[in-house]
Amino acid sequence: MSDNKTSYDYKNRNLSEVFKELQSIQSNSNSEHPSEELKTRQSNNNFGFNFNAQNANLKSKHEDLKLSHIIIGCSILVVSMGLFFPKSTSFRNSYAREEVSTETIEYELNRHSLNIQSIISENAGIDRVKEQVIEEREVEFETTYNDSPTLPKGEEVITQEGILGKDKVTAVKTYENGNFVEEIILSKDKIVDPTPKLINLGTSEFLAKHKVHIGDTMYFVDTAKLKQNIEDTSPDVAEVKKSLDVKLIDLPNEELAKVSFDGVEGYVKTSNLTSAFSTPSIIEKNRIQRLLLKVNVNMELNKPSGLTLNDYKKIFTGLPNDTNKIFENNYQAFYNAEKKYNINGIFLASIAIHESGWGTSQIAREKNNLFGYGSYDSTPYESSFEFTDYSEGIETVAKSLSKYYLNPSGTIIYGGETAAGWYYNGPTLSGVNTRYASDQSWHTKVYSYIELLYNRL
């Protein structure tokens, strides 16, 4: 029974019970001490002690005991209130609920004692400072996107860079132990407005498909005519051959493009355009087409043809009329002569074909002279030159044409030499025909072979 009293449940006590306990402690203290005094008084009388002095000691101890009891009681009261009453509930309401409630409220025992001194010390050590500041602060700019039909879909182009603005800000800043805690903005005054960032966002699927931009090179899929304006009934301004390159100028819509062909501008359907990305082989085809554009009866022959060694091989391999394979076996000699003497090698080969009958003439077979070089009309075989091989004759004639027929006097032609220009009448077929051959239609016959060879590209 005494054990149950000792383990009295402090959690279930209310304030009235606490006050009653304090009163009981005080009452017991008052009732017990008189007997102690009496015993002391008797003891003093028996043994001759000073009664007054002893009585004063007892009174002091009695008062100390009463004070300690009161402190203990108050401590219990304070701790009980702190532990068992919610902060958001008033003392009156909590007390009332304690009295009315018929249910037993279970509380978790607080096993961690409160160190009041530690809490006071920690808070006393906080250095909290507030200051008012007035400063200029940057203001972020906005980013605006605008659809652009002349850019590939999804591509972005910045047309205007964003610039930060400035505000004059008045604020109160709070610091604890030198660390920023919070800020309260009191006012903002605009100094400079931010400049928005402007971005064009591409929407053209045509440009995205071919990986091109306005101003890039595109190519014709088929031969077509350029129109003067966007209407189909508008006049034609130029005809563009298949595989030729044009410059993309504008894109009015996804079905129509404005292009420039060698300085002539016009409109064409986008379906007739391709790019090097979409059609990689178009670049080589365009190169050939550009070479063919220069082929005409009035073409300048004192310039290289622009053909590669592989082009020469392609042209001269498998010629149906080259039964003895003379030209197929000597295609590199014509190429070398072009590079060395700055002369069109296809023109040089065409003269050889015309003069030797594809290498079947007696002079060609017996003297390795494909040109009839040195011949006179009266004694063609006897007066013609004889060469050790075909390549020697090819180089000799190339040098002679460059020095005497194709360039005016004083022109630097090869190896530091200058042209004599004795028979110069222009760098064209008709110009060479004037002094080179007595046949006045010689130049047209030679030109037919030039076309034949070029078309084998």
Residues 390 and 320 placed together within one structural domain of the fold: yes
Q: Is 398 among the domain residues?
A: yes
What's the total number of domains in the chain? Answer: 4
Residues 412 and 383 placed together within one structural domain of the fold: yes
Residues 360 and 390 placed together within one structural domain of the fold: yes
Q: Rounded to the nearest 5°, which phi and psi values hold at 245?
A: -90, 145
Question: Where residue 194 sits, what CATH number does that domain have?
Answer: 2.20.230.10
Q: Is 255 among the domain residues?
A: yes
Give tens-digit pLDDT for 196-222: 999 999 999 999 999 999 999 999 999
Q: Name the band, by pLDDT with cuts 50, 70 and 90, for residue 19.
A: low
Q: Name the band, by pLDDT with cuts 50, 70 and 90, for residue 120.
A: low
Domain final residue pick, 81, 100, 119: 100
What is d(CA 159, CA 163) in angstroms, rounded to the nearest whole number?
Answer: 13
Q: Name the band, by pLDDT with cuts 50, 70 and 90, for residue 38.
A: very low
Domain final residue pick, 176, 200, 224: 200
Q: Name the band, by pLDDT with cuts 50, 70 and 90, for residue 48.
A: very low
Question: Where residue 252 sits, what CATH number does that domain have?
Answer: 2.30.30.40
Average pLDDT, the chain: 83
| pLDDT of 183 strictly over 50 | yes
Q: Is 111 among the domain residues?
A: no
Residues 76 and 40 placed together within one structural domain of the fold: yes
Helix 309-316 with 331-341: angle, nearest 10 deg: 140
Q: Rounded to the nearest 5°, which phi and psi values hold at 138?
A: -75, 145
More confident residue, 154 or 108: 154
- Domain of residue 223 covers 212-288
| pLDDT of 267 strictly over 80 | yes
Residues 318 and 443 placed together within one structural domain of the fold: yes
Q: Which of 121-135, 156-170, 349-363, 387-401 has the lowest mean pLDDT?
A: 121-135
What's residue 8's pLDDT? 45
Residues 309 and 413 placed together within one structural domain of the fold: yes
Residues 179 and 281 placed together within one structural domain of the fold: no
Tell me the three state secondary structure of residue 159.
strand
Sheet with 264-269, strands from edge to edge, namely: 236-240, 224-227, 264-269, 256-261, 245-253, 217-220, 273-274
Percent of the chain with pLDDT over 90: 68
Residues 394 and 299 placed together within one structural domain of the fold: yes
| pLDDT of 434 strictly over 70 | yes
Residues 323 and 408 placed together within one structural domain of the fold: yes
CA-based radius of gyration for the chain: 58
Residues 284 and 416 placed together within one structural domain of the fold: no
Q: 188 forms bridges with which residues in the sheet?
A: 169
Q: Is 107 among the domain residues?
A: no
Strands 143-152 and 197-204: parallel
Residues 323 and 222 placed together within one structural domain of the fold: no
Residues 137 and 93 placed together within one structural domain of the fold: no
Domain final residue pick, 258, 288, 318: 288
